[in-house]
Structure 1
Amino acid sequence: MNFRFQNLLGAPYRGGNVVISSNTVLLSPVGNRVAVTDLLKSETTTLPLQSSSNVTRITVSPDATFLLAIDDRNRCLFINLRRRALLHRITFKHRVAASKFSPDGALIAVAAGKLVQIWRSPAFRREYFPFELVRTFADFDAKVTSLDWSPDSKYLIAGSKDLTARILCLKKLNSGGVKKRPFLLLGHRDSVVGSFFGVNSKTNRVCKAYTVSRDCYLFSWGFTSDDDGEGEEDGGEGLEPPSPGTPERDVEENFELSENDGVKKMKKISENDGVKKRKKIDIEDGDEGYLSRGKWELLRKDGFMQGWAKVTACDYHRGLDMVVVGFSNGVFGLYQMPDFVCIHLLSISREKITTAVFNEFGNWLTFGCAKLGQLLVWEWRSESYILKQQGHYFDVNCVAYSPDSQLLATGADDNKVKVWTLSSGFCFVTFSEHTNAVTALHFMPSNNVLLSASLDGTIRAWDLLRYRNFKTFTTPSPRQFVSLTADISGEVICAGTSDSFEVFVWSMKTGRLMDVLSGHEAPVHGLVFSPTNAVLASSSYDKTVRLWNVFDGKGAVETFPHTHDVLTVVYRPDGRQLACSTLDGQIHFWDPIDGLLMYTIEGSRDIAGGRLMTDRRSAANSTSGKFFTTLCFSADGSYILAGGSSRYICMYDVADQVLLRRFQITHNLSLDGVLDILNSKNMTEAGPLDLIDDDSSDIEEGVDKQTRGKLGLDLPGSMPNRGRPIIQTKSLRIASTGRSFVAATTEGVLVYSVDESFIFDPTDLDINVTPEAVEEALRENQPSKALILSLRLNEDSFVKKCIFAVSPADIPAVATSIPYKYIQRLVEALADLLENCPHLEFILRWSQELCKAHGNSIQQNSRNLLPSLKSLQKAITRIHQDLADTCSSNEYMLRYLCSSGAKK
């Protein structure tokens, strides 16, 4: 029962900005979580921490230790990335559009509404309130949209929707007792999307700046010094600001003021003089206010020439002096500065690019498209993809494990079938031949064939070796399929319909329609074959569960009546029990051989919880969602998982009919149905405040409301759903190893695995079973005693240490001495070692001798040992495939070496 959240599949990116830390680690927000992708190892994991709503802004410290995650409710999490631990929380008063750590990591700049706040970064020490506000800049007239630090962490450049960019100095500078105002960079005709400092490559001092406006223009600014402290934008001390139109304000003529003998004079400088002055500031002493003793001038203004498109994302790399820009039409451009030379101009999608980022070395570009759930990492020099992932556009309807538990298939309302590798968390193939929502999936025993059912009236078979649709099953007249299964031999395929209430039977080899099973009077949403024989069980909304003998063709063998609609049906792995859920929230367990009702679990109270925005009743009095729509037995049949239109997944003990555990799949308040009690302050005369669609509101780029699909009723082209997504679980599956399970939810596909932390059985401990006793047995060269003590202690590190302490010659004797009740724990340890350690022959020898010594006991109690044996089989199969691939790739090299050796 010790399952914990491990990963989130189905949606690598949903909006906000992405960040690359340590040059190869990509962090991206996914709902209210943050996904971490190692681009070198090609693995992705999801942090176990959850924000209160969808994360819209993330930033990482320069040393890649801390992560700042800010959601759309202005709540911020300060996370230690290396330990994956939450350190602090803080709530900002305004919506945060940008945030960034200073280059030295000591400060954090946050653009909250019209304010730019400078916070001191929390340290490792415990403090009552770790976030300390250092300074606030309130000079902006509209929302601040972008931030960038100078290399010395003393200056900020901030862009705003008031069509300006400002140079902010952290230290308060005074000139003759008068506070100096920030420099203004004017001339933009639309809001500033990005603002960046440029530096001199030799001195690493700020000498230029770039601002990108939303109307597809890039402004290049140059900085020139003023030795006398004058010539600033405010005119300097004792001088009135020059009015617009005077020569000293004309950038093209490049005039400047000089003062000789108290008389103000105007002198035109040449281009060479200007270059000298710009070089002078680069070699000047590192003063606190060196950027305040000079002026900024517009050097050039360049257009991206994208027609009606707008700039939606941009980034700047100081080392390469390059700018990458993403547009609302799905095009991105890479430009070499300061000459504005276009290196690449490519289209990656038809939707707007919501994030574009350089990595540390500048050789990789990361792009994200929130609407498509698309995340790309592209190497611009070789023009090749480092990462290319795209999630499902709509909710996932169904999931299926491969027989060896290494692959996971998902089908969704976007008409696509995706296959994921569970070890890496990546999707490696997408099938898009279906023309309507995918409703059911089933893996064939061969592990290389996947079946999918769809509302488009087809059942398709996919070859996972050649990645193609090699067979399609149809009916004489179009039908909408909502359930799918195949017998244990893989010869017969059955699918249930929602419109004609029939079950269709095909031959897998010939593709011919063999039979049509009639008898149900409502949609057939549950369909499953017995694991031990050819009996087919079907459940329908007509309040019955029917058993069919498909090969005899005599119709329904037996019918189990219920008092409410039957929503789904599953077989226990040994085929001796049948479970089905009904609309009244109960789970009924039947004996399929004798046709008797064994017992019933009342689960409506367990799954209840969560009030929708549109509900007129409280969560306690509402009947909606208080039933299970998906069930799944464990690998050994001892417990059952159940989920439905609720934020909970319930785990029940089958023998005692008691609730063992409830998993809350999310705490995301951006979804509907998470809260039991709604805030009455959010209710207005026009309805709930969160559901009022204000077209004039300023929606952030990249976090627009996403249209959700519901079995094809809300597909592209139809009227968008203005309401918030409702949290629910549509499908549950447990791996054949029993060590993990997946849930297809509104948040995505959640993967839960067994917690590998320290676990022990208190009933098997006595005063002599201690870690010291294990160490003493190892020192006395008693490997059998040490291994048994470590198994009783049940600490993973000691068990593996004792396994390696046994010499290969002693393995048969030690394996024989192990009591049977510890076999399962020992097999689990061997399976884990087989996946992670290089001593392949040693672990295989252990497995072989263990099977020889306890073969009869394992065969007699295969049901209890099935999960651990499946884990061992999975590990052996994976290694066998790796070795086969390696050997086949080196076959000709080995032949050459053997032939050359024979000649010598």
Structure 2
Amino acid sequence: MTGVKRMNSPHWNECLIVNSRNKNEIFFYYYLFILCIVLLKNIYAGDVIDCDPHKYKHLSQKFVKIAIFSPDSKYVLSGHRDHTVKLWCISNGKLMKVFEHGELDWNLRLAFSPDMTMIASSGYRCDDKITKIWDIKSGKLKKIFHTYSEVLIFRPSGRHIVTASDSCLNLWNIESGNLEKKFIADQLNTFDKLWNISIGSIADQMFKKHTDRVRDIVFTSDEKYIACAVGNKIKLFNFNNPDEFFFLDGHDEIILHLKLSDDAKYLLSSSDSRLNSSLPKISSLKLWDIPNKKLIREYYIEKKYFSLIQSLMFNHDGKKIIAGLWNHMIIIFDIHSASILNIINLKARPHDFSSDGKFFISIGKKLELWDSFTGKHVKTIWSDN
């Protein structure tokens, strides 16, 4: 028999000696198994790992992949499959500007500066990563950073941009292009503070020990505090004094979205609660009291309506919470009683809400505006047709 030899041994009646061909097969299946584990882990984490440029060839090159409202909700910024980012005026549907992000646009992320003078776009393709800052008025490229950010946000002053694609927050100076500071977000220990980048390799070694990814970031308007969703916890810290921080702990699952109230007193968080979808009611939405550092309310969704929360918003008077679900639904909660005021079945998935919560946009073959409280179609901003 090829590759098998019978041997006499005081301990074994029969031993198998595997020849080099058998060993190669064993190693092949072993590494194949490891590769499958890595791929599944990345897919669950939401990473894009397929490097085939023809993967989405059946879709139009103008297909909308992402869209966000401007801070004043008068404009929409959309990212398309033709590697462009486009700025639209909502009132008249006019295309205001086109920005060429380029082919490194997988898992594209977009952001407006608070004063609406700049936009940022971040994406990647395989190992190539890029984040670009654009001047809105001139349409010119201001700065390029060779990094990708799953979470992209301008500092309220507009002088810096914060990126995060792992367990660290990176503070970039827009004018100089320098990485000024790093912050470890996922652990509570003596090294958990804001580091000057001049620390160099010592800090880098510390960063590698942290594994939970930052999923969302929100700043208070006065820049005093920043909140990070990392793992199943929320970390709030004083951006100017990083030793002043605390955790909000109450979610069992990974937190995906954060939303801060206008007065910065309350924080909304939603988590991936699909593992608990067998329960009659699922709580993936929580409200936190920031000054008192505590959970004050949970919002439950019945099993028959439950789906992953895609977008969150306080309404304009701060009395309601609007949650856009993956299954083409909007659920409106009373912020104080936690009761459900309305459940609206939609014809499109709510991708992003306007700042007052009155409208949402949907993406795909069309870029459309909808009424959040009635579910009615308001207008088509752009169509592939």
Of structures 1 and 2, the larger Rg is shown by: 1
- Which has a greater percent of strand? 2
TM-score by length of 2: 0.50
Which structure is richer in relative contact order (CA contacts within 8 A, separation 6 or more)?
A: 2
